[in-house]
Structure formats: C-alpha cells, structure tokens
Chains A and B, each alone.
Chain A
Amino acid sequence: SQQGEEDPQALSIQEGENATMNCSYKTSINNLQWYRQNSGRGLVHLILIRSNEREKHSGRLRVTLDTSKKSSSLLITASRAADTASYFCATVPYSGAGSYQLTFGKGTKLSVIP
C-alpha cells in the first residue's frame, strides 16, 4: 500500500525556474527520503531527512519536513532539462517491524522544458 501521496502528479516548467513537489504521509516516521527515477530506469537517492530535522539542503535541492502536518516538500532550484524525471517520496516507519522498509508514494512527473 502507498504511504505517501505526492502533489502535483505532474509538473511542467521552463528551464531555470524552480520546481516544488509536496508529499503527505499517514503514520509516524523515522525518516523520509526523496528519490528520482529517469524514464524506465532504477531509482536514485536524492536526500534523506530525519524526523527531528526540519530542513535539509543538497546542492540545488531543498527538503523540508513538517511532522505535525505529516508533510514534506522538495524544492529544485534553477531547474535544468536533465532534471526531467519522476520524483518519489518514501517514508521509513518510526520503529519496530518494517524498519528500513521504504513505502513510496505515486510520484510527481517533472518535465523541464529547455
């Protein structure tokens, strides 16, 4: 079953613009991760944010986490055509059985137009 729900399902922007994707989830988490998937390929890990963190940066990526609202956002600044891909959020449960298991959302399909 899907834990996270990304919003929007699809996003089309011009190169150089910023792209923001949102993720909502249902249960308490240990951490939340964002992955990128180019068409027909495997997933690539982008960034991990722990439940006690509120914001994290990695290059042009900025991730925020609001555990009170059970939501996260991924911001890609100064987008490039190479950023065209599907982006998934994935949650790891707080503890116990299922630890280290990722539960993925349905993803946001980002198209960056040159």
Chain B
Amino acid sequence: EAEVAQSPRYKITEKSQAVAFWCDPISGHATLYWYRQILGQGPELLVQFQDESVVDDSQLPKDRFSAERLKGVDSTLKIQPAELGDSAMYLCASSSARTSGGAYEQYFGPGTRLTVT
C-alpha cells in the first residue's frame, strides 16, 4: 500500500540552527500539506501546495519558515533559525484533491519529531 514518506523521524537541534524536513507524498497526489502538531493538540496547517504552487501559507511564520515543492512531487520544509517554541511534531499529508467540490481524505506520513534545545 502506498504511503507518505518523511525524514528524518527524529531531529534534535540547538536553537538558532537551521533544520530541514523532507516529505515524499503518495504518487499522483496533487495536493500536499505540512502541519505542525504541539503535544496534546491537534495538527495545525502550515502550508498547502497544489502541484508546485502554494495554495495557502497564511499560517506559516515566514520570517523563519520556508517550504518548497519544486517539481510538484516531494517537498521540503525548512526552519532557520530554530527557536525553542518550534519543538513539535511536523506532519506531511497528501491527497488526490484537485478540482473544486468533492470530498477527499488525507494520507499522513509518520511525522518528524523536532526537539529544539
């Protein structure tokens, strides 16, 4: 069964350092999402791509976070510089949603657990 791949699974970094996460969605899925999940909370959307274009990055702290999906396939989320408050689980998800209307489920990767010290 096809899965969303993420790496690394765990990352420990010092504050002010740069960190990057990678996501490979399910083949053929046009829409890719990055979420941040703080312990004990539900995931919160950071950025949504359709193909290589950003659909919504209104919740992305753009002074330190960036995301790209250059060829419309895999994606990278970067934080520079990392802050203590960035410690969280970073989840990637994909779906086959493309056209308006309809209802689509999202498929999640295993996540990257980030600890900033």
Residues on A lying within 8 angstroms of B by beta carbon are: 1-2, 4, 30-31, 33, 35, 40-45, 48, 50, 88, 90, 92, 95, 97-107
Which residues of chain A have C-beta atoms less than 8 A from B6's C-beta? 42
B46 CB, nearest partner CB in chain A, Å = 11
Cα–Cα, bound, A13→B45 (Å): 32
The contact of A45 among B56, B105, B111, by CB within 8 Å, is B105
B51 CB, nearest partner CB in chain A, Å = 13
Judge whether A45 and B113 touch: CB under 8 Å: no
7 contacts between A and B (CB under 8 A): A2-B42, A31-B103, A40-B113, A48-B105, A100-B48, A101-B45, A106-B41
Interface size class of B (residues with CB under 8 A): 20 to 34
Judge whether A97 and B56 touch: CB under 8 Å: yes
A43 with B105, Cβ < 8 A, contacts A104-B42, A104-B43, A106-B41 known: no
Does B25 sit at the interface, judged by CB under 8 A? Answer: no
The contact of B56 among A35, A101, A105, by CB within 8 Å, is A101
Residues on B lying within 8 angstroms of A by beta carbon are: 4, 6, 31, 33, 40-45, 48, 56, 89, 91, 93, 95, 97, 100, 103-111, 113
Judge whether A102 and B108 touch: CB under 8 Å: no
Which residues of chain A have C-beta atoms less than 8 A from B111's C-beta? 40-42
Q: Which of A45, A102, A106 is most buried by chain B, counting CB atoms within 10 A of its CB?
A: A102
Nearest-CB residue, chain B, relative to A97: B56
Q: Which of A48, A95, A100 is most buried by chain B, counting CB atoms within 10 A of its CB?
A: A100
Nearest-CB residue, chain B, relative to A31: B103
Nearest-CB residue, chain A, relative to B9: A40
